[in-house]
Structure formats: structure tokens, C-alpha cells
Amino acid sequence: MQIFQPWLLVLSLLVATVFAAPGLAQQPPSTDQSAAPPSPTTPAAPEPTKPHKHKAAATPSTNPPDATAPSAPPAAATGGVKPTLLGQYGDWGAYTASPGGKKLCFAIAKPSTSETDPPGKSRNPPYLFVSTRPADKVNNEISIAIGYPFKPSSEATVEVGSSSFALYTQQDGAWIKNAAEEAHLVDAMRTAPNAVIKGMSAKGTHTTDTFSLRGFAQALDRTDQDCK
């Protein structure tokens, strides 16, 4: 499977813009998921400061962090493009952008719960993306930005319902290992209540992130519609 590490960087930069704006990041769940709400004014790109740590970092801990938040990469990596909200559906947002003149649509969510073993480890915020890039003939590609460097050569897993899928890891990103299973994973996510992602950091910390899938199907339908 070909790994699109540069696209994970682009997505991460776009997400930094999305979640830096309270109007986009903290929208209440939509009570009517059959139609997308009006798109708000696109926020200005954030200053290149360190991203916020995961909630666990707010509690003092004697444990060293698993990830030191780096300075944000140059905004030029996305050509100064800002994402446009297509709609908020439950716990998932649907967005579109055109970095480098190539259209990109993605559905995205933050985990509803995150755990580390040993407990108290801080990390950068994790995100789960499902992206479509028509110019590259990529449709509904699942990517995870985990918030720390994975243990080299390790695999992660995503559990949806009774099914478990192996994930290939590279730096702080993960993708489904068997590309032939990706469509099955997406279909499973459309009907399941949660997706649980488990991995191990380069420092040996085990993580478990649970993502609510409420609104996932509607958000994906919206991105599919915009990036036909």
C-alpha cells in the first residue's frame, strides 16, 4: 500500500486551522443530520505556536511525555489554503479544501476518550480522518494522526464492532495495512457506534483511543457528494 505521508502533514495543518477556531471546533452536535448547516466564515490561520496537549497533560504528572509538541510546520505546506466546513454531523465534521490546487474532502473527529498505559502520559491531540482526493484517484482513505511517534516497525489496530483491522504505522501516522480491507472498514464504521484505535509509542506507552461514530455516515456522504 502506498503511504501518503505528505498528505497527512497537509491534513494535520488544515486540522490545526479547523480546531484553532472555536466556531468550528466546538460546534454542538447537529439535531438534524439530514442537511448540513450553513458554512461559517472561515477562520484565520493560527500562529505557528505549539499545539495544545491532550487533556491528560493538564494534570501534573511525574511521567515524561510521549510527544513533545513541535512548532507548527510552515503554512506554505498548504499554500495558505483554509478548510471550508461543509457540515457538522454528530461528532464528525465534513470539510473541503484545495491545497496546491488539488481538491480534498475529509471527514474528521477527535476521540471521545483516550487512555494511556502507564497512565498520565501527555501527547499531542489525536485525530481520525477519512479523506478523498479526486486528482489522485483516492476515495475514502482512512488515516490516523496519533499524537506521538509510533514504535518503529510496530503495527496499530482499529476495532469496529467485532472486526479488527491491522494498521501500518509511520512516524505519527497510521493507515490500514491491507488496502483491500479499507472499503470494508469504512462500511463497518457507517453502522457501528465506536471505533477503537490501539497503538504503542516509541517510548513503549500503550494508547487506546475511542472515537464515537455518531454522524460518521452523514459526514462521509457529504464529503462524497462534494468530491465526486
Q: Could you give all domains of the chain from N- to C-terminal order, each with its CATH number?
A: 5-28+51-226 (2.60.40.1880)
Matching residue, cell 461528532: 91
SS3 150: strand
The pLDDT tens digits along the chain (228 residues) read: 444 455 566 666 666 666 554 433 333 333 333 333 333 333 333 333 333 333 333 333 345 567 543 323 333 334 556 889 999 999 999 999 988 888 999 999 999 999 999 998 899 999 999 999 999 899 999 999 999 999 999 999 999 999 999 999 999 999 999 999 999 999 999 999 999 999 999 999 999 999 999 999 999 999 999 998
Matching residue, cell 488515516: 143
**Beta strand segments in the chain, E:** 84-89, 92-97, 104-109, 113-117, 127-133, 138-145, 155-160, 163-170, 173-176, 194-200, 206-212
Extract the C-alpha cell encoding 105: 474532502
Matching residue, cell 490545526: 16
